[in-house]
Chains A and B, each alone.
Chain A
């Protein structure tokens, strides 16, 4: 029987008092745990959501707002930039600095969930958390190794099965195809083959309805804001707006009559396609309505091949898709006059009577940009250049999010944490009172221990250990309580914020609770322990 066991027996003996004391500490600890875990998960989710690209480019305004709106679907867009500006990244003067540029349009909502117009690159090129591989690329020594790892990674997530729980990504020519996030699918019941009509504005049940889009894929849960969004082909989105169905509140299309300028580049079936690269399962063209978009797959695979791809759009030469040559994806035939990027010439299967051979007045809300690692110096300078030019701004999501988390969010967390810790301290003082009060009735007990040969320091230690046991017991109660509470609230948190939390999500910071509680117990137990130390045996034995 060691001192721990002796202390434990004494704690057990006073069940009610011990239980209440531990419970009060537990409540405080549960709050601490709650604050820590929620903050940790929120930080992690926020940081994770912006992965796969390093810049967001959009209209001038608040950078944080732009990041929040683009990455987390919070708030309204800051503004828009012209489509031509996007082209600068895709094929214009910034093309060499970037590896990937994905346009986004905030396209209203469906039953309160944000609808985003974008290109298939959103899912083909940006590594979502669900398909991230864990090895850290930066730790790999050589460029070759890194390139190889990247290729493997991309092979992995190019398989849309890893990303979609149902269906697949929408194709470049599938104008009215859409992909829905896991939460959206769960809440609205949308599944592959269903049609949905986004409405304008960002709140449910307002504004005018768009044309119908068809769900072609349902995303797996990612624990990011994308779970709560729907993604539609930006082309379909534009066409609707060009039909005049646009809402001023969005201000997406100022100047409908803007000069119809055209053809830029071409499709994604660019010359970088590695001949012979051929993976039929990635063939988005499998859908019958878009027979000629296998070219897009060619594009994707070009990226996977890692051949220094930055969508090098080789001029207006629509027809030269034969360069894809060698593989069985060569069967696309682009009309030479096709004015759309991404070669959206094929209207097959779509019932819009609109000749959209021009990009007039097209706007994008944001461009997700992955800079070219090989041009690191230029890539680093890119945000500065963009910001100095005046018509747009570039923000690094990681930086903005860090600033947000360390700023307001961090302060709120600190305040909550201080309150929670104060509750623990008050509970600790309660513990001191409880042990202190028990000391008078335990004088005889302590004297008996001393008569049996226990030293003053031994009885003092026993009381201190009791205090430590009580607070650690409270800590365990608090951890269980806190995590159960998180588990219970998880659906609510998920519902309202899109942040996925689990009852068993532990934060490294929680480990500080153990030394923290032991420290507090030592301080709080000190006074009663001193009383035990000072107990005079001869006098107390006769009590």
Chain B
């Protein structure tokens, strides 16, 4: 379902020297599989998610999702692909401040070519327990509630993959578990593959498959040598 092969990503520093961040020979995830990705700060977790989402294009290698190699698509097509196939939850400030909770869920539908499905948006918000907060703006929601809206929004277009980059880093531990449960529950229900990045051992230990980026990222392996 998701396959990375020989993916390399480097950044050019201001002084012109290249900074190699990712070098992954192979990485796979099955449909509906739930994987946690851990690794020290700066090891390239966010960069990896960007590459999978098509936000960043790898220097080389292939990223195949649902049968499509996104690295050969144009940027506009990758945007379109992302809208249709990939859900994304960030660490903070997921939501657009000008829009209500319901609108935040529906705006993702607007960018995908499908019609706005209000009933689905209502259902998703109900699933994360926010039916009573539909018209609230992000500023009127707690951080935990904002993350739950972000989970609902990531599911809006029935994605194949959900990428979550430290979604609970800014929430207290009580609410953290709630958000993790909702994420996992939603992905399980709709058979969406979940890649979750976290620094929290409590979160990581709940997953059957834990990937340490240090172990699959050859840049870091070679650095350590």
Contact call A453/B111, Cβ cutoff below 8 A: yes
- B50, B88, B93, B110, most chain A CB atoms within 10 A: B110
Residues of A within 8 A of B197 (CB): none
Closest-by-CB residue of B relative to A453 is: B83
- A505 at the B interface (CB under 8 A): no
User: Quick check: B98 and A9 within 8 Å, CB to CB?
Assistant: yes
The 8 Å CB contact of A2, one of B53, B83, B108, B110, is B110
Minimum CB–CB distance for B86 against chain A, Å? 8
Q: In the complex, are the beta carbons of B88 and A452 less than 8 A apart?
A: yes
CB neighbours of B79 from chain A (8 A): 450, 453-456, 458
* Distance A59 CA – B221 CA, assembled complex (angstroms): 109
Q: A2-B110, A6-B110, A9-B98 are in contact. Are A451 and B93 (CB under 8 A)?
A: no
Nearest B residue to A1 by beta-carbon distance? B110
The tally of residues in B whose CB lies under 8 Å from a CB in A reads: 34
Stretch at the interface among A104-112, A204-212, A534-542: A534-542
B55 partner residues in chain A, CB cutoff 8 A = 450-451, 537-538, 541
How many Å lie between the Cα of A221 and that of B64 in the bound state?
81
Q: Is the CB of A12 within 8 A of B109?
A: no
On whether the beta carbons of B112 and A9 are closer than 8 Å, the reply is no
Question: Given known contacts A9-B99, A12-B98, A453-B84, is B111 in contact with A444 (CB within 8 Å)?
Answer: no
Q: Point out the residue from A10, A458, A537, A538 that lies within 8 Å of B111, measured CB to CB.
A: A458
CA distance A453 to B110 in the complex (A): 9
- Chain B residue at minimal CB-CB distance from A448: B96
Query: Which chain B residues (77-120) contact chain A, with CB distance < 8 Å?
Result: 79-80, 82-84, 86, 88, 90, 93-99, 103, 106-112, 116
B56 interface residue (CB < 8 Å to A): yes
Task: Say which residue of B53, B93, B110 sits within 8 Å of A448 (CB atoms).
Answer: B93
Interface presence of B25 (CB below 8 A): no
Binary contact readout A138-175 vs B (1 if CB under 8 angstroms, 0 otherwise): 00000000000000000000000000000000000000
Chain A residues contacting B110 (CB-CB under 8 Å) are: 1-3, 6
Q: Are B96 and A449 in contact (CB under 8 A)?
A: yes
> Which A residues are in CB contact (< 8 Å) with B191?
none
What DSSP secondary structure best describes chain A's contact surface? helix
A1 interface neighbour in B47, B94, B107, Cβ under 8 Å = B107
Task: Give A542 to B169 CA distance when docked, in angstroms.
Answer: 14
Q: Does A492 contact B (CB under 8 A)?
A: no
A455-B99 contact in complex given A1-B109, A2-B110, A6-B110, C-beta closer than 8 Å? no
User: Which residues does chain B contribute within 8 Å of A458, judged by CB atoms?
Assistant: 79, 111
- Complex alpha-carbon distance, A127 and B39, angstroms: 94
List 8 A-B pairs, minimum CB-CB distance, nearest first.
A453-B83, A13-B98, A453-B111, A454-B111, A9-B98, A1-B110, A455-B79, A452-B108
Q: Which residues of A contact B (CB under 8 A)?
A: 1-3, 6, 9-10, 12-13, 444-445, 448-458, 537-538, 541-542
Binding site for A on B (CB under 8 A): 46-47, 50, 53, 55-56, 75-76, 79-80, 82-84, 86, 88, 90, 93-99, 103, 106-112, 116, 153, 157
Other than A453-B82, A454-B111, A538-B55, give 11 A-B pairs with Cβ distance below 8 A. A1-B107, A2-B110, A9-B99, A13-B97, A449-B107, A449-B111, A452-B111, A453-B112, A455-B111, A538-B47, A538-B56
